[in-house]
Structure 1
Amino acid sequence: MFDIVHFPLFAASAFALSITPGPDLAYVVGQSLGNGRRAGVISAAGVAIGSCAHTVASAVGLTALLAASPVLFTIVKFLGAVYLIWLGAKMCLGSLQRRKAAQTDVALPVANTHSLLLRGFLTTITNPKVLLFFIAFFPQFVTVGGDNQAVSFLLLGLAYAVIGFVCDATFAWLAGSAAGAVSRNQTVKAWIDRVVGLAFIALGLRIWLTKR
């Protein structure tokens, strides 16, 4: 099909990457636990949109440019690390607001659709793990010198985004079951935000310290 080869192996690899713990999955599960299934599924959609952006970058050659430039790759890696640390710190600070709200019975606003989509998009677009997957792994499934390389990259990227969305949405649905039991308990939600926030900070530091 076009210039795509060994597609079943590609699909299996995409599935394995999607269920491996990382920033994307942590974000989706955290939102689902803290704000319910709907928030988790919307977050998963944001992650999928980020994967589509990676796909377009691969098709037009931007990913290859990053692969050839250690400086650009390092910039992207550090941006991803800083974003994760910032997001984690924001969630930890937000948990203090939840604790205060629990003590005063004040309702906190629920994250809106635009915010959930944007955060999911930024989480995956700055995720070095996904970037490396596109740089080092995608080309192995496209025929060298083929006439339809760009289209092949787009189709593989779309398949990756769909597989990732299904996996993330499944985890969001499962995590949402636990969220229903504590939907009215702001104290528990605050602790969930705190744990997920610390996980984001740890992931950010790990990315910051990891060499290419």
Structure 2
Amino acid sequence: MDPALWLAFVAAAATMLVIPGPTILLVLGQSLGGGRRSTLPLVAGVAAGDFVAMSLSLAGLGALLAASATAFTVLKWCGAAYLVWLGLRMWRAPVEGAPPPLPPRRAGWQAFVVTATNPKGIAFFVAFVPQFLDASRPFLPQAAILVATFVTLGASNALAYALLAGRLSGAIQRPGPRRVLNRAGGSLLIGAGLATALLGRRPA
């Protein structure tokens, strides 16, 4: 793969990833509640979700979703409902005392589902990745490099946000500030779910 093309992909992907979306909102909220114990499962879930979403997009799932209104609608509403459910749970999370650590499997699974089923992310991969593929070179090696690069960048970005939230979690012990954070994060997740539900399908 052309190094200049790869560096352009790294710069574009890093710029896109640093802007918080539903996945990062989930990572922040759960890291505040679960502390550092939930960091690695969350990062692993994000990495797995990015790998699945990007790989399936390159394999043709993105084209299917772009062409099938039914497939797009099902995925959209499943993702939206899950985000709203997570937001409601965070809104109602207990604020007295330290919250119980998030079970590792649940943390990783939630991060995976939110990342892998985000239709906006899949649509982004379909529109974004082909710009960095050289039609004169074999497809599979280029696709493997781009997937590995994006997964690494996505996991690193999630890790940075999770560690930051973990530090804040240790500093915030009073019920008042914790309640504000829970409700702010829950509201953002619910808003992200509603925005996903209202996401329109682009014409094929």
TM bucket normalised to smaller: 0.7 to 0.9
2: CA distance between counterparts of 1:16 and 1:180?
A: 29
Task: Give the Å deviation of 1:190.
Answer: 4.1
Q: Which amino acid aligns with 1:165?
A: A
Task: Give the Å deviation of 1:121.
Answer: 0.2
Moved more, 75-84 or 158-167: 75-84
2: CA distance between counterparts of 1:27 and 1:36?
A: 13
Unpaired runs of 5+ in structure 1? none
What does residue 187 of structure 2 align with? 198
The alignment partner of 2:122 has SS state of helix
1: CA distance between counterparts of 2:53 and 2:16?
A: 15
Task: Give the Å deviation of 1:45.
Answer: 2.1
Task: Give the Å deviation of 1:5.
Answer: 7.3
Residue 161 of structure 2 corresponds to residue 171 of structure 1: yes
Q: Which amino acid aligns with 2:185?
A: V
TM-score, normalised with respect to structure 1: 0.84
Provide runs of 4+ in structure 1 moved above 3 Å: 184-191
Residue 192 of structure 2 corresponds to residue 207 of structure 1: no
The alignment partner of 1:74 has SS state of helix
Q: Cα RMSD (Å) of the superposition? A: 2.3
The alignment partner of 2:101 has SS state of coil
Moved more, 25-34 or 110-119: 25-34
Shift in alpha-carbon separation, 1:55–1:150, aligned structure 2, 3 A? farther
Task: Give the Å deviation of 1:74.
Answer: 2.6
Shift in alpha-carbon separation, 1:115–1:65, aligned structure 2, 3 A? same
Identity of aligned residues (%): 36
Q: Deviations over 1:84-111 (max 9, x none)?
A: 1111112223x2xx14xx2xx6x75321
Q: Which amino acid aligns with 2:197?
A: W
TM-score, normalised with respect to structure 2: 0.87
Contact 2:38/2:101 (8 A) holds in 1: no
What does residue 109 of structure 2 align with? 118
Q: Deviations over 1:157-189 (max 9, x none)?
A: 11101001111111221222211112x545644
What does residue 71 of structure 2 align with? 72
Q: Deviations over 1:15-37 (max 9, x none)?
A: 11111121011111112222213
Q: Which amino acid aligns with 1:194?
A: R
